[in-house]
Amino acid sequence: MLRYGKATNLRLLVRSASQSRQATGFASASDRLGDPSLPAYSTGAARAQPVMASAPAQDQDPYAKLKVSDIQRILDAAHIDYRDCFEREQLLQRLRENAGRLGGSLSHQLQSLQRQQPMQAGGLSNLTAGQLTAQHQLFMDEQYVVNLFQANRPSVVHITSLLSSPQAMFSASTQERPAGQGSGFIWDTAGHVVTNFHVIQRAERIKATLYNNEVHEAELVGMEPDKDLAVLRLKGSKSAFQPLAVGSSQGLLVGQKTFAIGAPFGLDQTLTAGIVSGLGREVRGITGRMIRDVVQTDAAVNPGNSGGPLLDSRGRLIGVNTMIYSSSGASVGVGFAIPSDTVRRVVNQIIRYGKVVRPTLGISMVTDQSAAPVIGQGKGVIIREVLPGTGAAQAGLRGLQTANAGQTLVGDIITAIGSLQIGMTEDLASAIEQFNVGDQIPLTIRRDGQLIQITVPLL
């Protein structure tokens, strides 16, 4: 059963303290970096025994004594991106590649770190394994996830939909009550926020809470119910908005990592991790129309995650969490996200026009059921009528015609748009949505048994 991550009305007695926590990823002892400057330790309470690197290698290489955290600190200070570096050697390579750019500042930082090392080395033997982990030791992949969360949490908001209701029977005064909760994320520096349509569907007033507990009134800019998307605008900024980086959903691969940030059950700033577990899914949206190319993930997505971002391992948006497959209402590891390419197109149109502007081909179509006897085993969409003054009319497309004897003659059958095969009316409608008004689209049509290529402008 498909369930939307609709807002939960669960009333929390204690405010979430998730802002002060750090999320960690997954690692095993065998995944730990082979960093000679980091001590080896067991899972017991024994004191850590430092592992020393060979002296000749350190003398020859000025970077040999640098810990992972040292390299990251240098790269961060120089605003050098290292999010694609997963091992210490990769970090060192990134540092070496940019050594010329850093110039004297690199030498200064290396000297500063070398002066600190004797004190650090002397203190390591007095730390327990637990203390060492708390102060220094995160595995590389753990630190990466922590950094990803910290970098993106300012872009995620907790959305509360409010309704007014009478305070008492026969009373003229009203009070607001939560109609639901969900998640969203900041799209641009103007304060536009993207969320699911079903999160704010019943709202009379909308509040958005940022990661720093700033609460903003939010107004509805526009919505696209067929895609379960809505765009809000935050009012009264006290601080600069940090937009989320938007990636592409086209090049995704099953198995790559995913991260979801949101407010499941009202617990804001919650991070869950998983993988892309499926691609090209079709799910029925809240209006009954199919949403195509949906991203499937096993990252835990629960009620309240709706409208929140699904990120790749670079922290870029690849989808908007919208629903889960569940018989109980809780996550069973099958969640669905609207692909970021669809989100980008819809959101940009809403911000620009206040609504989604759908390009039109200028035809009406024969329903799939009625067309089946005519098409037979073939695929395609039969044009019923070509509307005058449209791109289809300009291109000379043909609809159904009536012969002198009253017999209906089939005109053109659309079989493909570009390389995309068209099998039914839903395929055609979905394909045209990917274009903009004014685009010239290449159609393949079957006319009198022959396949013809024709270009049609969208108006």
176 CB neighbour count, 10 Å cutoff: 13
* Token pair for 107: 């030498």
Q: Which of 141, 228, 293, 312 is catalytic?
A: 228
Strand partners, 193: 186, 232
328 is catalytic: no
Exactly one of 306, 313, 340, 430 is catalytic; which is it?
306
Distance of CA 2 to the CA centre of its chain: 20
Cβ–Cβ < 8 Å for 223, 188:
no
The torsion region of residue 354 among left (phi > 0), alpha (psi -120 to 50) and beta comes to left
Q: Which of 388, 382, 391 is nearest to 409 (CA)?
A: 382
CB 320 within 8 A of CB 343: yes
Q: What is the helix, strand, coil percentage profile of the chain, to 5? A: 25, 30, 40
Query: Does the annotation count 306 as an active-site position?
Result: yes
Catalytic residue among 158, 192, 198, 216: 198
198 noted as active-site residue: yes
Question: C-alpha angle 146/147/152, rounded to 5°?
Answer: 105
Q: Which has the closest alpha carbon to 195: 302, 338, 291, 311?
A: 338
SS3 207: strand
Contacts of 376 (CB under 8 A, 6+ apart): none
Is there a contact between 301 and 271 (Cβ–Cβ < 8 Å)? no
Calculate the dihedral angle through the C-alpha atoms of 323, 164, 215, 219, rounding to the nearest 10 degrees. Answer: 70
Q: What is the DSSP letter of 128?
A: B
Give catalytic residue positions.
198, 228, 306
